[in-house]
Amino acid sequence: MKIATWNVNSLRVRLPQVLRWLDTHRPDVLALQETKTEDRHFPVTEFEAAGYSAAFCGQPTYNGVALLSRLPMEVFAAALPDFNDPQKRVLAAAVGSLAVLNLYVPNGQSIESDKFRYKLEWLAQLNLWVTALLDKYPQLAILGDFNIAPADRDVHDPRVWVGQVLVSEPERAAFRQLLKHGLRDSFRLHQNGGGFYSWWDYRAAGFSRNQGMRIDHILLSPALAERSLATVIDREPRGWERPSDHAPVMAELGR
């Protein structure tokens, strides 16, 4: 089974790239973030023609998440429970015996801002929810744009990012707290080195110079981690015409 995540930074713009990637890789489930698409405009027909059913929770201009699946899918959440938030950042579904939680974690803007406090509160509520999810769904995969580089090896030059969001200690502590539930960073199950990134700034030739960060993750429950065969970051779409600034990340699970 293949599950994947991709922040597409506007599905309206990136739909041809997504369809091209699906045709090549055929994941069983693809989690999309930053669709920036109202539900009434979601391209259901195009994905059905490609062999995928779609579940989506969107809004114009900002945020928005979606799940595409080749298998029967039943949505069970479209928001963090007990957290009043109009932003569309969460979508969870059961896909067979698997539970898939698609997240677009807030960016945080700057560590002095209200948006950073909102991010930490959001992550704290997510942590509480994960406890309940793992009790109910032993085979749980959490995918998405976490907007957190977990360690210095996940940043092209940590010195440049000191004191900024995505790398701050409170954010990294929140990420570690999720792992304390037994969740495993699937990429790090297979690759320990640095220099692997999933996001590159559009500015200053960030991609061609490989000045990026690994902020898109697939976390696996203990039961799924035992089935993990591989996790890869597919850099190719980042080099396509009009690309997202993120690359897809895909995990393969054995039976």
Q: Which amino acid is at 181?
A: H
Percent above pLDDT 70 for the chain: 100
Is residue 216 flagged as an active site residue?
no
Angstrom distance (rounded) from CA 169 to CA 173: 6
Q: What is the pLDDT of residues 171-226, one digit of tens each?
A: 999 999 999 999 999 999 999 999 999 999 999 889 999 999 999 999 999 999 99
For residues 70-90, give the mean pLDDT: 97
Give the number of residues written for the chain: 255
Q: Alpha-carbon Rg of the chain, whole angstroms?
A: 17
- Predicted confidence at residue 255, as pLDDT, reads 85
Which residue in the list 104, 137, 154, 245 is annotated as catalytic?
Answer: 104
Angstrom distance (rounded) from CA 71 to CA 2: 11
Q: What is the pLDDT of residues 13-44, one digit of tens each?
A: 999 999 999 999 999 999 999 999 999 999 99
Sequence-separated (6 or more) residues with CB below 8 Å from residue 186: 217, 218, 219, 220, 225, 228, 231, 251
In the block, which residue shows the tokens 């907007």?
147
| The Cα angle at residue 181 between residues 180 and 187, in degrees rounded to 5 | 75
Query: What are the two backbone dihedrals, phi and then psi, of residue 217, each rounded to the nearest 5 degrees?
Result: -135, 155
Which residue in the list 28, 52, 137, 145 is annotated as catalytic?
Answer: 145
What single DSSP character describes residue 206?
T
Is residue 137 flagged as an active site residue?
no
- Predicted confidence at residue 204, as pLDDT, reads 85
Distances (CA, A) of 76 to 86, 142, 199, 249, 253: 18, 14, 29, 24, 22
CATH class of 2-253: alpha beta
Domain boundaries, given as residue ranges, for the chain:
2-253
